[in-house]
Amino acid sequence: MATANAPFTRRVLLPGLEQQTTPSLSKDKVALILGGVVGMVFFIVAALNVVGALYLPVRPGESGGWNTGLDYITFGLLASLLPYGIIRNGQLEKIEKIEDRLPDFLRDVAEAGRFGMTLPDAIVSASKGRYGLLTDEIKKMASQLEWGVPVATALHLFEERVPTPLVQRVVSIIVRANEAGGNVADVLTMVARNASDASLADKARRVTMLTYVTVIYISYGVFLVTILILSAQFLPAMIQAGQSVSSSALGGASSSVALQFQLVPQLFLAFFVAVIAHAVGDGVMAGVLHKTRIAEGFIHAGAMLALGWVLMRYFVPQF
């Protein structure tokens, strides 16, 4: 069985192995790079459609131009935001689940330590419990201790496999307390209580912020409905009134009123741009408010952007 105060030893690699191993990109970084490349392609296609160098309309029968350009800008934003947001948010959710169960493991280790067990024995004893996603990593650490790996080494290897901020902080505290020869059980109890309190406070904050996220979605929905009503009721009436005034002027009737109904298509484009800007801005804000994550904000932004695009292209009348 391993001793409690064994010194920490780093793993020694074979000569030349450091030069042969290269750090690989994580899934979220790969998604960010590929999404950026695909998004850039869509942005280039959008620019070519706007200037008339390319005719590739999304809706059949359109003549290209700004409507098609905004379609491809929307697709580019979706490609840039959604893949990274989904993958990175999944990684952060996994880290959150691990950190939620870490206080339970620390309390079990502390209880075992109060019965006179050394720290390695207490970890091996506590590893028989169930801690969700953390269970397999704890069992690996217990197996290493049973094979005689020093406790500090096993803890640092556990930290490398589960590199979350809370795990790194906890491992550092436990290693220092064990090397100092103090009452590790009391230290573990305090760390577990602190981690549990921080988790509860974060969950309470999220419940409070969920109200603001709901308000953001409601305000965005009201904005879309307002555009739909304006486009279905007000703008057609404006075009009809402008055409009537123009017909009266051509017929010889004098009129001091001039309605620039020819600018209505530009109003539609302004609405479209506003929908895109609000979707990205409101979505990122919702994610940051709820869980302080830009990655989650990208998911909200993608959902809002997709909803706004479908409404503008298939429900709002085209002018």
Q: Which residues of the chain have a pLDDT value below 70?
A: 1-23, 182, 242-243, 245-262, 319
d(CA 58, CA 71): 7
d(CA 14, CA 49): 57
d(CA 126, CA 137): 12
Range(s) of the domain holding residue 221: 201-244+262-314
For residue 308, is it within any domain? yes
For residue 68, is it within any domain? no
- Predicted local confidence at residue 259, as pLDDT: 52
Q: Residues 305, 224: contact at Cβ < 8 Å? A: no
- Predicted local confidence at residue 78, as pLDDT: 96
For residue 194, is it within any domain? no
Residue ranges with strand state E in the chain: none
- Predicted local confidence at residue 1, as pLDDT: 38
- Predicted local confidence at residue 211, as pLDDT: 93
Structure tokens at 124: 């091996």
d(CA 260, CA 245): 10
For residue 16, is it within any domain? no
- Predicted local confidence at residue 5, as pLDDT: 42
**Number of domains the chain is built from:** 1
For residue 255, is it within any domain? no
- Predicted local confidence at residue 260, as pLDDT: 58
For residue 277, is it within any domain? yes
Entry pTM: 0.80
- Predicted local confidence at residue 23, as pLDDT: 54
For residue 296, is it within any domain? yes
For residue 86, is it within any domain? no
